[in-house]
Amino acid sequence: MNLGLSQMYAQDDLSKLGKTNLDDVLRFLSGKGFAEKTQAEIMEQLAFGGKAAAKGAKPGIVKLGSVGRFAGGQTAKNILRSIPGLSTALVALDVADVVAGPDSLANRGMDAAAMGIGGTIGGIVGMGNPLAIGAGTGIGKMVSDGSQFIFGGGKSAEERKLEEAIKLLQQRGLV
């Protein structure tokens, strides 16, 4: 692991901290830069990956076929452009669930901690990439909810309350 390189990325990210403005946020959400970069990387992998790499083929010699035409086309670019906005929206929904959800305070605390840990891991692995942070946050929330479901007996808080109310009514002979 090259610590000098990761330190360089960290210093670059820290220098940008506090300098982000609305234009930067809107540029990120538009997804144009992400789509262009990702599309170029996909095309490079298709050109050099698989059989072409094994045979030592040179760029431009490999026929990419229908997969390559799709990956390099406008439809793929539009799909890729939607990813940053969707990622941000999903993280916002997860945060809204923690803040305004019907769960207990302990459940909310566990969700918030898991989202923080997941976002931190995503930021480290993705070297500060906002998409990696968002993905880590979402995965953290998913892991938290999954563990609460498994260790909580597989029932939501509402289902447990409903069962308790039915038991109480049965004890009193009303049902």
Q: Considering its fold, how many domains does the chain have in total?
A: 2
pLDDT score recorded for residue 92? 94
* pLDDT, greater one: 63 or 60: 63
Angle, CA of 31, 23 and 125, to the nearest 5°: 50
Using CB atoms within 10 Å of the CB of residue 63, give its burial: 0 to 12 exposed, 13 to 18 middle, 19+ buried: exposed
* pLDDT, greater one: 24 or 108: 108
pLDDT score recorded for residue 66? 80
Residue 12 maps to a domain: no
Residues 95 and 36 in one domain: yes
Residue 8 maps to a domain: no
Residues 81 and 113 in one domain: no
Residues 85 and 110 in one domain: no
Q: What is the pTM of this model?
A: 0.65
pLDDT, mean of residues 112-130: 92
Residue 127 maps to a domain: yes
Residue 5 maps to a domain: no
SS3 category, 118: helix
Domain span at residue 76 reads: 20-100
What is the C-alpha to C-alpha distance for residues 96 and 94, in angstroms, rounded to an integer?
5
Instruction: Reply yes or no on whether the pLDDT at 54 is more than 60.
Output: no
